[in-house]
Amino acid sequence: MATILLVEDEVDLSNLIKGHLEGDDHTVVQAFDGPSALALVEQHNPQLLVLDWMLPGMEGLAVCRRVRQSHLMPILMLTARSEEIDRVLGLEVGADDYLVKPFSMRELLARIRALLRRVTLDAQGMLAGDQAPAGTLSAAGSSAPAPADVSDTIIRGPLKVEPSMHVASLDGVELDLTPKEFELLLLFAGHPGRAFSREFLVERIWGYEYDGFDRTVDTHITRLRKKLGPLGDNIVTVWGVGYRLVL
């Protein structure tokens, strides 16, 4: 049972999807344009965002990009665009999944359930105490705090990250990381398996106004991989999207 923000300007379709989601015992909040969607994200902090591409006021890609500046809840995009370049573009701005119209309600519900299972597994890992910081991502809300706000120690196999001390170690040996490398490692370790686009990483780590190129992200990832030794291979490149930590 989750709170889902459904952003779809076709009222009949929105109500149809809403009925099916409520049949799965979810709470559904509806928005019919881009600006309203952004406001409702802040108001309700949903666990999942179902987002149409073509919206009045602000298109879905722009909404997705804005949401990804401060939130990590899964985003499922709905669109009539079926070209590969469109799917890649949606993923690059931060969407987690992509469903082309027309679609069956059975497939939509299956994709939503899969995304929500990931949120639940992330939350369960954090409740284990030695897996990840409790404040990073939870089933109660997917807003991602800035790395400096995370205080609990993260342990991922031989990797130990202590945000409050700004220290990371591997097999008990402290890693010599730059501040940006540490923030990247903290984000990856806090959300293993989560793919982050280069654009998101630039906005998150360097700041939205950073006047650099996404090549900067690639350079920092390369250096971080080297410093992590064999574990560096676990930071994998997601084609057309960015990077994620696989454990």
Distance from C-alpha of 242 to C-alpha of 220, rounded to nearest angstrom: 13
The 8-class DSSP code of residue 204 comes to: I
The end-to-end CA distance of the chain, in Å, is 28
Task: Read off the CATH number of the domain in which 32 is found.
Answer: 3.40.50.2300
Domain annotation covers residue 240:
yes
Q: Do residues 114 and 12 both lie within one domain?
A: yes
Segments forming the whole domain that contains residue 50: 3-122
Instruction: State the pLDDT at residue 238.
Output: 82
Domain annotation covers residue 241:
yes
Instruction: State the pLDDT at residue 145.
Output: 37
Q: Do residues 12 and 118 both lie within one domain?
A: yes
Q: Do residues 208 and 98 both lie within one domain?
A: no
| pTM metric for this prediction | 0.56
Rg (alpha carbons) of the chain, rounded to whole number: 18
Distance from C-alpha of 142 to C-alpha of 135, rounded to nearest angstrom: 10
Q: Do residues 101 and 197 both lie within one domain?
A: no
Distance from C-alpha of 26 to C-alpha of 190, rounded to nearest angstrom: 26
Q: Do residues 109 and 202 both lie within one domain?
A: no
Q: Name the domain boundary from 56, 87, 122.
A: 122
Domain annotation covers residue 24:
yes
Helix-strand-coil percent breakdown of the chain, rounded to 5?
A: 45, 20, 35
Domain annotation covers residue 129:
no
Task: Quote the crossing angle between the two packed helices 179-190 and 215-227, to the nearest 10°.
Answer: 80
- SS3 state of residue 140: coil
Q: Do residues 103 and 161 both lie within one domain?
A: no
Domain annotation covers residue 131:
no
Instruction: State the pLDDT at residue 122.
Output: 52
Q: Do residues 61 and 110 both lie within one domain?
A: yes
Instruction: State the pLDDT at residue 244.
Output: 87
Distance from C-alpha of 164 to C-alpha of 226, rounded to nearest angstrom: 24
Per-residue pLDDT tens, the chain, 247 aa: give them. 899 999 999 999 999 999 999 999 999 999 999 999 999 999 999 999 999 999 999 999 889 888 887 787 889 999 887 666 666 666 767 788 888 888 899 999 998 988 888 666 555 444 443 343 333 333 333 334 333 334 478 999 899 999 888 899 999 999 999 888 999 999 999 888 888 888 788 777 876 545 555 577 888 999 999 999 999 999 998 876 788 898 7
| Residues whose CB falls within 8 Å of the CB of residue 235, separated by 6 or more in sequence, listed in order | 188, 221, 224, 225, 228, 243, 244, 245, 246
Q: Do residues 101 and 164 both lie within one domain?
A: no
Q: Do residues 109 and 168 both lie within one domain?
A: no
Residue 192 burial by Cβ neighbours in a 10 Å radius (0-12, 13-18, 19+): middle
Domain annotation covers residue 170:
yes
Instruction: State the pLDDT at residue 128.
Output: 43
Number of domains into which the chain is organized? 2
Q: Which amino acid is at 29?
A: V
Q: Do residues 78 and 180 both lie within one domain?
A: no
C-alpha distance from residue 91 to each of 108, 207, 228 (Å): 17, 20, 27
